[in-house]
Amino acid sequence: MVTIRDIAQRLGIAVSTVSKGLNGAPDVSAETRQLVLDTAVEMGYAAKRTRRQAQPKVCVLVENMEYANSGQFGYEIVAGFRLAAAARGWAVDVLPTTPEAQARTKYGSLLLEGGYGGAFILGLTPQDAYMRALAGTGTPTVLLDNCVPNASVGYVGTDSWEGVELGVRHLAGLGHRKIAFLNGTRDSMVSEERRLAFLHATWLCGLSADERMMAYGYYEQNCAREYVPHFLAQGATAILCASDGIARGVLAELRRLGLRVPGDVSVMGYDDLPLAAGCEPPLTTIRQDRLALGKSAFSLLDSLMNGVAVSKVLLRPQLIVRESTGPAPVRK
């Protein structure tokens, strides 16, 4: 078991200086404190320190995801994580992060300095410094909709293959033969899974896959202005979207073009955010149980913190049928 004496010996500094660095004493320079923290993480000291806390705590690191208000995607995920953690006696700190903050403080050092036993990460991209650091971390960590080949890192999400297939089968069952797919962010793991799932589901339903009927909307509502006319020119009678926000933008663009939903074009979202039921018309969508995702994330993190190397937990999606989908129009 690594002690502060071992860290002091590695660095060639006093034991008292290491202790001050680990505890954020004001009479230790920022450079020395960072060196002590980085070395402690490298030597595996983090777990020892967090076990000594009266109330253990974990953190949620968030980037590129809204979570402050009840209508936002991350809100129920964070709430579910907090509920599950509190039931097991863990405190939770929610920490927004940025690429600049990640450049200043290494991932392991951040968790050690805060006394966190583990972390749940939301919204980071593969290009983020903390994501790159996860390949070699020994700190228990759970990712939403992302995967890193490391026994200390787990993955929680909703089954994208099943979700996209539910959407395609619903539309195909209504007679739609030309279905467009407006995906999320290019090069993300979940978007790639959904792309492959869309191609597979169209094949299962006996439809021809057409790359011209697929595009990336980057979760922006205004992407509809660019892609909806293109899809319509290819003969699309239905558009499956990677989020309810994208779908709301598609509905607005179809209204601008003078087209009826679902009379002329059917539209489906993904997530079942509160906005979905309030759309005009109310939006058919694929529901992700976000509260359950958060609870499952803590359960997975708890397993990792207790030495159980769980790889991933996938929840099942649910088809929510409302008024934005209907029978395919009869072409004259």
Q: Where are the domains of the chain?
A: 1-44, 160-289
Instruction: Please say whether the beta carbons of 270 and 163 come within 8 A.
Output: yes
Does CATH number 3.30.530.20 belong to domain 160-289?
Answer: no
Chain segment 15-55, per-residue pLDDT in tens: 778 777 776 677 777 677 767 776 776 666 754 445 555 68
DSSP state at residue 173: H
Residue 229, CB half-sphere, CA atoms under 13 Å: how many?
6
Instruction: Please say whether the beta carbons of 281 and 263 come within 8 A.
Output: no
CA distance 160 to 171: 17
111: closest CA among 15, 44, 31? 44
In words, the CATH class of domain 1-44 is mainly alpha
CA distance 52 to 41: 16
Domains 1-44 and 160-289 share a fold: no
In the predicted model, is pLDDT for residue 77 greater than 90?
yes
What backbone torsions phi and psi does residue 58 show, to the nearest 5 degrees?
A: -130, 170
pLDDT at 49: 46
Q: Is 120 helix (H, G, I), strand (E, B) or coil?
A: strand
pLDDT above 70 covers a percentage of the chain that reads 94
pLDDT above 90 covers a percentage of the chain that reads 72
In the predicted model, is pLDDT for residue 174 greater than 90?
yes
pLDDT at 93: 96
Token pair 């071992």: residue: 6
Other Cβ atoms within 10 Å of 64 Cβ, number: 14
Instruction: Please say whether the beta carbons of 187 and 181 come within 8 A.
Output: no
In the predicted model, is pLDDT for residue 217 greater than 70?
yes
- Angle subtended at Cα 29 by Cα 38 and Cα 134, rounded to the nearest 5 degrees: 20
Other Cβ atoms within 10 Å of 329 Cβ, number: 17
If pLDDT is split at 50, 70 and 90, which confidence band does 10 have? confident
24: closest CA among 112, 98, 93, 90? 112
Helix (H) or strand (E) holding 216, with range, is strand 214-216
